[in-house]
Amino acid sequence: MDTAANNQLGGLLVAIPLLPLAAALIGYLLAWGQGRLALRLNAWLGGLALLASGGLAGWLLSAVQQSQADSIAWRVPWLALPDAALLTDAAGNRTGLPVPLAFNAGVPALLFALTTAVIAVVVLVFAVRERRDDPRRATFFATLTLFAGSMLLFLAADTLLVIYIAWELMGLTSYLLIAHPGTDRARRAARQAFWTTRATDFGLLFAVFTLMTVFRWTTLSGIDLTALLQSIASQGGNPREVYPWLSAVALLVLAAVLGKAAQFPLSFWLSDAMVAPAPVSALLHAATMVAAGPYLLTRLHGFFVVADLPLLAATLLGGLTLLTGAIMALAARDPKRVLAYSTVSHLGLVVMSVGVLAEEAGYYHLLAHAWFKAALFLGVGYLVAVWLTQHGGAEADHEPPELDRLAGFARRQPLVLWGVLVPAGLSLAGLFPLAGALGKEQIFQALLTRYGATPQAGIPAIGEQFPVAAAAWAVGACMLVIALPLTAAYITRLVGILGWGRPAPQPPEAAVAAVAAPRGWGVPLVLTTLLALMGSVGWAAAYFNWYNTPAGFAPESAAWKWSAAGHTSQLVSAVALAAVLIGAGLTWYLRVARPQAGDRVFREGGLAALAAFFRHGMYLRELFHLVIGRCGELLAVLAGRADVGLLDWLVLRLGGLGRLIATAARWVDDYIVDGLRWLACEFWWFLKRLHARTMQTGQIQHYMFIVLLGTALLCLVILRPLSRILADILGSI
């Protein structure tokens, strides 16, 4: 566990998340106390902090690559959690399970941190212009910084509990960001997002439990499957006995990713979250919360390699998401929703890559996706913002314009069209040799060839080991082949209609006001262009460098890696390219060049109902609302009724029982006890009426006679029956 000793660079690693978190805190304080200052300062604070974090990440990245160490680490003691195993130290004292506060980052984490920081800086610059008229922008910038900061914490942290904290912090900040517009729709989307992700987060929590309790692994870097299995084997045990635990961890993490990365069937929350401002979407999709899940999967891929079920689940769920996401993106009308479903689809591919043991390619795809998707979101966000200004509806109706109303709008914005939409779109479509294609082809190849691979000596061929998963890989390959042209189709549709579509006839009242092109967009747009270029060409260049020098990407646990090194075969590339071209060409013809022909198919023809079905997100939202929301509400109402109507009623009736007894006692007291007294009184009066006074003779013998008479009477009345009863009892004995 302590192989990566604290080194001097560790402090800098801690600074990567700490800087933006501190900037966000200061931003909140400023926004609370000094509103005006905060409006000016918060974006700068956050931007500079994130820039510094990005710089640190880049510097540490080069330092790691130059040094022999796998990673940079930093740790201090934090907690000693109670543990049922009664861990003791050398002196025999109970210690509990020590949980350090640890940070650890190797190349994958640092590379991703660099990506997150750079994209966050661009997003902030964009947000400064986009939110110029927003009165609550001070807190918005602070929250945006916090969002990026929590992702950096997630990347840099090593302690599993801290990773979980960062994971939840992202959920919380995304909630705040989605709710930022303040409309009912935004709030509804925000709480839907929060609840959906929170529900699945328990998967991660239980995975952390299991890792901490069953294996006593408290840090990510401490997880060492090889050592665990070897130690079990060396103690004469069967390593296969822990396989169920390992696959349980894999499935739990997969469940958490299902919600957080909006995988099928929970994809609805992400598309509804599109009410958030464009910068939020860009950050959310590209490099933070949504991407965090698949990233974690690539880090924990070792847990998937032990059984069929996790591999099968990851492959099929990922594949299903890939496919349905692409179809829904094709059917969606709102340009931001197209991009949202596109994210879902791409992340499904990354999840699938873990299922097919090509996590390295998945990781690469995640990185490339971050850059081009951020660029696309910002580009589309810019178009929407300009369109809204020109149509006098800036923030007036928070309904974003549909794709048809934006048709041809980008042609008047050549920088956005040619600098952002086209390169990023081509990369997204998977056009060889742009960055978006390379990872995809690696995964494709893995799906096709993983079956027979014999990766290392001593380990059986995967096909023999995982027969069911191998079948799933074949299904996955089919899904990918279908998804490739679909992906190309939806992005061609989006970029094609934006750039070259024929503008719909405007209703006369919404005539375009002759508004001059808004100013101040220069810097954000240029930076966005850089993102797009990085996402298409830049990462492609890195890719070839990457796979030529395997040392550049340090694997966490080499024994569990089966990634095929080297380039994809030319056949795979050709098939993929052909699929992409077919999809793109067909779409171009049907939606851009001859939209009437397309309308006949999709709006009027037999596909109309199907298109509507997918446009409504396959009614998944409605399904979940019905099943969980409505049923939960019903149960809650029932419980509320039961508490007052049944439990409290019972308690009150129990009190009522006491009251009943008390009433009975009162009756006894009033009529029996008091009645006796009354009888005595009456008797006395009776005697008085008999002129009992005449009996008071003052002569002792009279009195004695009365006593004698009374005693005799008593004997007659009481003792005789008593003695009879006594005699009965004695006789019975």
Partner 1 sequence: MEHLATSSIGKLEVFLTWLSNPTTQLLWLPLLGCIFIMATPKAQQRLIKTWAVIFSGLSLLAAVLMVSGLPKAIQDAGIQIASDYVWHPFAKHLPFRQGEAFSYVQNYSWMKVELGEYWSFNVNYFVGVDGLSLPLIVMSAAVIFLAVIWALPRTERVRDFFALTLLMEVGLLGVFVALDYVLFYLFWELMLIPMYFLIAGWGRDPEKAGRAAIKFFIYTMFGSVFMLIAFIAMQVMSNVYSFSIIGLTEFELTGGQNLPMLFRQLMFIGLLLGFAVKVPMFPFHTWLPDAHTEAPTEMSVILAAVMLKTGSYAYLRILYPSFPDVAYQLGPIIAFCGVAAIVYGAAITLVQKDIKRLVAYSSISHMGFIVLGISAMNPDATVGAIFHMVAHGVIIATLFFMCGVIERRYGTRDLYEVSGLLAGAPSYVLPLGIAAFAGMGLPGLAGFWGEFLVLKGTFYNSPNWMSVHVGAIDASRYLQIVAAIAVIGILTAAVYMINLLQRVLPGPVKANLAVWRGFRLTDGLALVPLALAVIVLGLYPAPIINACEYYAHALWATALRF
- Give me the least distance between CB of 90 and partner 1, in Å please: 8
**What's the rounded Cα separation, in Å, for the pair 365 and 294?**
10
**What's the rounded Cα separation, in Å, for the pair 331 and 619?**
13
Closer residue to partner 1, CB minimum distance, 631 or 716: 631
C-alpha Rg value of the chain to the nearest Å: 38
Closer residue to partner 1, CB minimum distance, 649 or 671: 649
**What's the rounded Cα separation, in Å, for the pair 191 and 178?**
9
φ/ψ of residue 431, rounded to 5: -85, 120
- Give me the least distance between CB of 539 and partner 1, in Å please: 33
Closer residue to partner 1, CB minimum distance, 37 or 597: 37
**What's the rounded Cα separation, in Å, for the pair 126 and 525?**
8
- The single residue listed with the structure tokens 């299904």 is 475
- Give me the least distance between CB of 202 and partner 1, in Å please: 5
Closer residue to partner 1, CB minimum distance, 190 or 274: 190
Closer residue to partner 1, CB minimum distance, 636 or 717: 636
- Residue 679, Cβ density class (10 Å: 0-12 exposed, 13-18 middle, ≥19 buried): exposed
Closer residue to partner 1, CB minimum distance, 77 or 552: 77
Contacts of 512 (CB under 8 A, 6+ apart): 390, 391, 506
Helix (H) or strand (E) holding 76: strand 71-81
- Give me the least distance between CB of 184 and partner 1, in Å please: 9
Contact 527, 542 (CB under 8 A): no
Closer residue to partner 1, CB minimum distance, 191 or 615: 191
Closer residue to partner 1, CB minimum distance, 164 or 372: 164
Give the tokens for residue 229: 């299995």
**What's the rounded Cα separation, in Å, for the pair 535 and 530?**
8
Helix (H) or strand (E) holding 391: none
Closer residue to partner 1, CB minimum distance, 92 or 606: 92
**What's the rounded Cα separation, in Å, for the pair 268 and 324?**
12
- Give me the least distance between CB of 220 and partner 1, in Å please: 16
Alpha helices in 549-647 (DSSP H): 570-587, 595-599, 607-615, 620-624, 631-642
Q: Is 54 left (phi over 0), alpha (psi -120 to 50) or beta?
A: alpha
Closer residue to partner 1, CB minimum distance, 541 or 628: 628
- Give me the least distance between CB of 85 and partner 1, in Å please: 9
Closer residue to partner 1, CB minimum distance, 39 or 199: 199
- Give me the least distance between CB of 415 and partner 1, in Å please: 37
Contact 543, 371 (CB under 8 A): no
Closer residue to partner 1, CB minimum distance, 82 or 605: 82
- The single residue listed with the structure tokens 């958490």 is 256
Structure letter (DSSP) for residue 430: T
Contact 196, 267 (CB under 8 A): no
- Give me the least distance between CB of 641 and partner 1, in Å please: 9
Q: Is 618 left (phi over 0), alpha (psi -120 to 50) or beta?
A: left
Q: Residue 69 CB: number of other CB atoms within 10 A?
A: 16
Which residues are 100's β-sheet partners?
77
Closer residue to partner 1, CB minimum distance, 182 or 710: 182
Closer residue to partner 1, CB minimum distance, 202 or 387: 202
Contacts of 7 (CB under 8 A, 6+ apart): 69, 72, 73
**What's the rounded Cα separation, in Å, for the pair 412 and 220?**
50
Closer residue to partner 1, CB minimum distance, 184 or 604: 184
Give the tokens for residue 717: 């009345």
Closer residue to partner 1, CB minimum distance, 84 or 511: 84
Closer residue to partner 1, CB minimum distance, 188 or 411: 188
- Give me the least distance between CB of 474 and partner 1, in Å please: 34
Q: What is the DSSP code string of 498-558?
A: HHHPPPPPPPGGGPPP-PPPPSS-HHHHHHHHHHHHIIIIIHHHHHHHHHH-GGGS--S-G
Contact 315, 328 (CB under 8 A): no
- Residue 567, Cβ density class (10 Å: 0-12 exposed, 13-18 middle, ≥19 buried): middle
CA-CA-CA-CA torsion sign (708, 714, 715, 717): positive
Helix (H) or strand (E) holding 283: helix 278-286
Q: What is the DSSP code string of 312-353?
A: HHHHHHHHHHHHHHHHHHHH--SHHHHHHHHHHHHHHHHHHH
Residues within the interface to partner 1 (CB under 8 A): 32, 77-84, 86, 89, 91, 93-96, 98, 161, 164-165, 168-169, 172, 175, 179, 182, 187, 191, 194-195, 198-199, 202, 205-206, 209, 212-214, 632-633, 635-637, 639-640, 643, 647-648, 651, 655
- Give me the least distance between CB of 645 and partner 1, in Å please: 11
Dmax (CA) for the chain in angstroms is 143
